[in-house]
Structure 1
Amino acid sequence: MNNRQLFLSHLAQTTDFPLLIEIEKAEGVYMYGANGEKYIDLISGIGVSNVGHRHPKILAAIQEQLDKYLHLMVYGEYVQSPQAQLAKALTDTLPSSLNNVYLVNSGSEAVEGALKLAKRYTNRREIISCVNAYHGSSHGALSIGGNEIFKRAYRPLLPGIRNIEFGSIAELSHINTQTAAIILETVQGEAGIRVAESAYFQALRKKCDETGTLLILDEIQAGFGRTGKFWAFEHYGIVPDILVCAKGMGGGMPIGAFISNQAVMAVFKNNPLLGHITTFGGHPVSAAASLATIKVILEERLIEGVDKKAELFKSLLIHPRIKGIRNKGLMMAVEFDSFDALKPIIDHAIANGVITDWFLFCDDAMRIAPPLTISNDQIKEACDIILHAIDQA
């Protein structure tokens, strides 16, 4: 059996129509198929490859750690240099109140930990999230998701969840002294790149302070330079109580984290002891890759080019069938009339060498979130292919 047959026979499937693109190698912004195909990756593995595929400094960090040790012990017992150095590097990018890091394996796990932390610290049970939010697919993360289509088959889910409209200051009145936390994406991703005003975030921070509610910001997609700041909340002049991250954090390796104040995080130490546990969280190889990723983003000054690259995309993607482009940095949604109009365009783009897709809760918009390392010439090449795909469709 070839790999395609093995994939279909023995790997669990999540749709009846997987892309079935077989990749043999990836480098920078490119992925290469089994038969010599070459693709520009305009979605970065859904927001993961912020520094490109197989960045040489990430590979070097991984190899260096491979020569030392792999898994040693469950999280939080042994002093492991990759974990400690990564935690320090992360907190160095953040305001002083976000000084304590809990490392996990993924964004969904980070959300689960953040929810537990908020409930334990506040001794409250209500969680507020937003309509069309996506925070992951595990049971708790799904519970706070904002789209019923994905939830209804798995009910009953966590109780005490309320969804409010993202960006609506009036809806913040639902936050009260019974609310443990409100969790929201700083930029809504799967809703199709929805951006709120600074006044909304200021009002949100004020309401949380008034009610003793913890503010959890999910930057699983928006973090690590994606929006033109290292953290998206920097655009809005506020600081969350808990920050959730993953995806672009690992340079292609699986890792996530939730980050808070040391005093808040301390509630996991007792009543009960070991209040949150993970075996592989902060795996030393992933932690080494993540530390190298932070260094690459900062030392190569990748964030400085984000806004100009986004503007270049917007200046080139002009076509009568394009209804508009929403973005925050290189988180971009190119809007079309409908999914029926968009899907053939995506198919033609892939066939011509550009990987893109749509959003879970916004299927009339094309996702563009390339590696931050993409060059102007590569942007122009990708846009030419997309425009040609529009004409073909």
Structure 2
Amino acid sequence: MNNRQLFLNHLAQTTDFPLAIEIERAEGIYLYGPNGERYVDLISGIGVSNVGHRHPRVIAAIQAQLEKYLHLMVYGEYVQSPQTLLAQAICQTLPSQLDNVYLVNSGSEAVEGAIKLAKRYSNRREILSCVNAYHGSSHGSLSVGGNEMFKRAYRPLLPGIRTIPFGEEEYLAHITEHTAAIIMETVQGEAGVRFADPAYFAALRSRCDETGTLLILDEIQSGFGRTGTFWAFESYGIVPDILVCAKGMGGGMPIGAFIAGKEVMGSLKTNPLLGHITTFGGHPVSAAASLATIQVIQEENLAQQVAGKAALFKKLLVHPRIKSCRHVGLMMALEFESFEVLKPIIDRAISKGVITDWFLFCDDSMRIAPPLTISEEQIAEACNVLLDAIEHQG
């Protein structure tokens, strides 16, 4: 059997219609098939490859760590330089009150840890989240997701979860003295790139302070330079109590984190001790790759280039079938009339060598989230293919 048959026969499938594109290697913004096919990756593996595929600095860091050690011990027991140097580098990107990093394996686990931390520190049980939020697919992270279609088959989920609309200030009154935390994406991803204005976030921060509620911001998709600042919340003039990140953090390696102040994070140490346990969290190879990723973003000024590159996409992607373009930096959503209009456009673009996608909770909009390393010439190349696909739709 060939690889495609093995994929379909033995690898667990998540839909009946996977893309099933066979990839042999990847570099920069490109993926390559076994017969020389070349694809522009306009979605960065869903927000992961912020510094491109196989960035030389990331590969060098991985190779150097392979010469030293792999897994040694469950998280938090041994002093391992990849973990400590990464935690320091992350904290240096953040306001001083966010000075403790708990390294985990993924965005879902980061959300799980953040929820547990909020409950433990506050001694409260109610959690608020937002309509059409996406925070992951494990039971806890699914519980605070905001789309019932994805939750219905797995109920009962966590109790004490309430959902409010995103970006509507009047609903912040639902945050009360009984609320342990509100978890919110700084920019909603799977809702189709939805964002709120600074006044909303100021009111959110104020309401949390009034009620003693912890504010958890989810920057799993929006962090690590994606929106034009290292963290998306920097543009809104607030600081969360707990921050979660993953995806673009690892340069292609699996890693995530939840971050808080030392006092808040310290509540996981007692009653009970080992309040969150992870065997592979902060794996030294992933941690080394993540540190290199931060250095690349900073030294190559990738976040500073985002606004110009996003503006070029907007300038080039003009067509009567495009109803709107929502974006925060290089988190972009091109809105079409319907999924039935959009799907053939995506299929044709892929057949012509440009990979894009739609959003879980917004299937009339095209996802554009390329590696931050994409050049102006590569943007023009990709946009030409997309415009051709749009023009020849139907």
Which whole-Å CA distance do the structure 1 matches of 2:341 and 2:96 have between them? Answer: 47
Q: Could you say which residue in structure 1 is the equivalent of 2:262?
A: 262
Q: Which runs of 5 or more structure 2 residues have no equivalent in the other structure?
A: none
1:15 alignment partner AA = T
Under a length normalisation based on structure 2, what TM-score does the superposition of the two structures give?
1.00
Aligned to 1:112: 112
Give the whole-Å Cα distance in 2 for the aligned partners of 1:204 and 1:197.
11
Shift in Å, 1:292: 0.3
1:66 deviation in Å? 0.1
Amino acid at match of 2:276: H
Aligned to 1:44: 44
State how far apart, in whole Å, the 2-side matches of 1:160 and 1:268 are. 21
Alpha-carbon separation, structure 1, partners of 2:267 and 2:94: 21
Distance in 2 separating the partners of 1:20 and 1:94: 39
Pair 1:246 & 2:246 matched: yes
Residues in 2 aligned to 1:131 and 1:10: alpha-carbon distance in whole angstroms:
36
Structure 2 distance, partners of 1:106, 1:48, is 11
Measured against aligned partners, the alpha-carbon deviations of 1:162-208 in whole angstroms (never above 9, x if no partner) come to 00000000000000000000000000000000010100000000000
5 Å-filtered alignment, 1:262-341, equals 262-341=262-341
Q: Report the equivalent of 1:355.
A: 355
Q: Quote the offset at 1:108 in angstroms.
A: 0.2
Tell me which residue corresponds to 2:80: 80
Residue 380 of structure 1 corresponds to 380
Q: Which amino acid aligns with 2:113?
A: G
Distance in 1 of aligned mates of 2:37 and 2:274: 49
Q: Aligned partners of 1:275, 1:150: CA distance in 2, in Å?
A: 28
**Aligned counterpart, 1:99:** 99
Deviations 1:70-127 (A, max 9, x none): 0000000000000000000000000000000000000000000000000000000000
1:284-310, CA deviations, whole angstroms, 9 ceiling, x for partnerless residues?
000000000000000011111100000
Residue aligning to 1:160: 160
Distance in 1 (alpha carbons) for counterparts of 2:15 and 2:392: 26
Distance 1:248 1:154 in 2: 28
Q: Any residues of structure 2 matched to 1:111-260 within 5 Å, and which?
A: 111-260=111-260
CA distance in 2: counterparts of 1:323 and 1:276, whole angstroms: 45
Asked if 1:54 corresponds to 2:54, the answer is: yes
In structure 2, the partner of 1:16 is 16
Cα distance in 1 for partners of 2:69, 2:49 equals: 25
Distance 1:125 1:390 in 2: 48
Q: What CA distance in whole angstroms lies between the structure 2 residues aligned with 1:292 and 1:388?
A: 37
1:4 aligns with 4
Q: Tell me the CA shift for residue 266 of structure 1.
A: 0.5
SS of residue in 2 equivalent to 1:23: coil
Give the whole-Å Cα distance in 1 for the aligned partners of 2:131 and 2:366. Answer: 20
Counterpart secondary structure, 1:158: coil
User: In the alignment, residue 186 of structure 2 is paired with which amino acid?
Assistant: T
**Alignment deviations for residues 106-158 of structure 1 (CA, whole Å, 9 cap, x no partner):** 00000000000000000000000000000000000000100000000000000
Distance 1:211 1:13 in 2: 44
Segment of structure 1 superposing worse, 204-213 or 265-274: 265-274
CA distance in 1, matches of 2:383, 2:296: 26
How far does residue 273 in structure 1 lie from its aligned partner after superposition?
A: 1.0
Quote the offset at 1:35 in angstroms.
1.3
Output the amino acid matched with 2:170.
Answer: A
Query: Taking structure 1 as the reference length, what is the TM-score of the superposition?
Result: 1.00
Q: 1-side partners of 2:276 and 2:6: how far apart?
A: 37
Deviation at 1:392, TM superposition (A): 1.6
| Partners of 2:357 and 2:268 in 1: CA distance | 40
2:146 partner SS: coil
Query: What 5-or-longer segments of structure 1 have no aligned partner?
Result: none
Distance 1:222 1:241 in 2: 17
For 1:240, give the aligned amino acid. Answer: P
Q: RMSD across aligned C-alpha pairs, in angstroms? A: 0.3
Q: State the distance in 1 between where 2:365 and 2:267 align.
A: 42
1-structure distance, mates of 2:46, 2:217? 19
Summarize deviations over 1:340-375 as a string: whole Å, max 9, x none.
000000000000000000000000000000000000
Question: What is the alpha-carbon distance in structure 2 between the residues aligned to residue 173 and residue 128 of structure 1?
Answer: 11
Using the TM superposition, give the Cα deviation of residue 391 of structure 1 relative to its aligned residue in structure 2, in angstroms.
1.4
Which 4+ stretches in 1 moved above 3 angstroms? none
- Aligned mates of 2:170, 2:208 — CA distance in 1: 14
For 2:119, give the aligned amino acid.
K
